[in-house]
Amino acid sequence: MRLLGLLRIHSISEMGPTAPAISNTRIFHALHSEQKLSDICRMSALYKHLGALMTNFGRLHIGSRSVAMRRVATEREVMLMDLKLRPGKREDADVLAKLVNYAGEGLPRYLWEQLAMSGQSAWDVGLERARRDDGSFSYRNATVAEVNWRPAGCLIGYEISSAPEPIPDDMPAMFVPLQQLENLAPDTWYVNVLAVMPEYRNQGLGSALLDFADTCGKQSLRSGMSVIVSDANPSARRLYERHGYVEKARRQMIKEGWQNDGSSWVLLAKTFGGNSTI
């Protein structure tokens, strides 16, 4: 449920050429490639195989394999039966801006406020970035969870390379602890944004998106998965721990003008098939 790639929306698109060391991170752009599935989580091939959730078992079909979702209460199964995952669309921008802000603990809105021009609101900036065709926050990089034909949640992620990214002296201080933690999770598929709209929470959507993230990580041949959460967000941590993530490290937050109840960023990670890279 966090952020470093999200913060790089600011670093890549808004800080411009003054911060090349931040902008060289490889954001996951293969989500809608037309190439075969065996390449980096080829989403276009995956999406055409996504089917309805099976009664009582809640399974997402992805090609010849299926990813088991945790069972939810009987009264919620009808809603889950109507869940589908699809590529993001430009018209999702309003929902995506809200979801990114939820996932970022309010930090995205804080950054958008700093970027707003005269007459612009923070949300105007967020919508503008979600509607663009490029950038890590672009609708093109989002997988949207749709319930009853309405956007209900989203996933955005990317690969972390096996080599740590250098931290330049001029990196904004509030980003440094996040980059330090990301550097401790080499060769993983990073969950940059995972969020569900409030009215759809506690209904299995987060688990469905995390299962799909696992598929992306495995298809991209990463050694495992990683995410960074605030220590003031226990519900997010519980979700990831149910999916096998464990705490690897933490760093103190540097907030500047951002208001948040947390004091530390926490790196959670898990490995695939006994790998021990992280």
**Assigned token pair, 190:** 């990073």
27-84 tens-digit pLDDT: 233 333 333 333 334 443 333 333 323 222 233 333 333 343 443 333 444 454 588 9
Place of tokens 């201080």: 173
Task: Using the predicted structure, report yes or no on whether residue 267 has a pLDDT greater than 50.
Answer: yes
What pLDDT is stored for residue 223 in this prediction?
96
User: If you write DSSP's letter for every residue of 208-262 in order, what string do you get?
Assistant: HHHHHHHHHHHHTT-SEEEEEEETT-HHHHHHHHHTT-EEEEEEE---TT---S-
The answer to whether the pTM exceeds 0.75 is no
User: If you write DSSP's letter for every residue of 168-190 in order, what string do you get?
Assistant: -TTS-GGGHHHHHHHTTSTTEEE
CB 193 within 8 A of CB 105: no
Backbone angles phi, psi at 191, to 5 degrees: -85, 95
Nearest to 137 by CA among 88, 65, 91: 88
231 compared with 2, residue with greater pLDDT: 231
**Assigned token pair, 203:** 């209904």
**Assigned token pair, 227:** 């995410």
Nearest to 3 by CA among 121, 152, 175, 144: 175
Domain residues of the chain, as ranges?
Answer: 4-271
Tell me the C-alpha distance between 268 and 278, whole Å.
10
Q: Among the listed ranges 44-53, 78-87, 119-128, 171-180, which one has the minimum average pLDDT value?
A: 44-53
Strands (E), the chain: 59-62, 65-68, 83-87, 143-147, 150-159, 188-196, 224-230, 246-252, 264-271
Confidence of residue 155 (pLDDT cuts 50, 70, 90): very high
What pLDDT is stored for residue 136 in this prediction?
81
In terms of phi and psi (left: phi > 0; alpha: psi -120 to 50; beta: otherwise), the region of 177 is alpha
**Assigned token pair, 198:** 């409030």
Task: Using the predicted structure, report yes or no on whether residue 26 has a pLDDT greater than 60.
Answer: no
- Residue type (1 letter), 32: H
CB 184 within 8 A of CB 249: yes
Tell me the C-alpha distance between 178 and 25, whole Å.
13
Tell me the C-alpha distance between 33 and 157, whole Å.
15
Options 3.40.640.10, 3.40.630.30, 2.70.70.10, 3.40.50.1970; which CATH number does 4-271 get? Answer: 3.40.630.30
Task: Using the predicted structure, report yes or no on whether residue 180 has a pLDDT greater than 50.
Answer: yes
Nearest to 190 by CA among 223, 234, 166: 223
Biggest alpha carbon distance in the chain? 54
What pLDDT is stored for residue 277 in this prediction?
60
What pLDDT is stored for residue 276 in this prediction?
57
In terms of phi and psi (left: phi > 0; alpha: psi -120 to 50; beta: otherwise), the region of 188 is beta
Percent above pLDDT 70 for the chain: 69
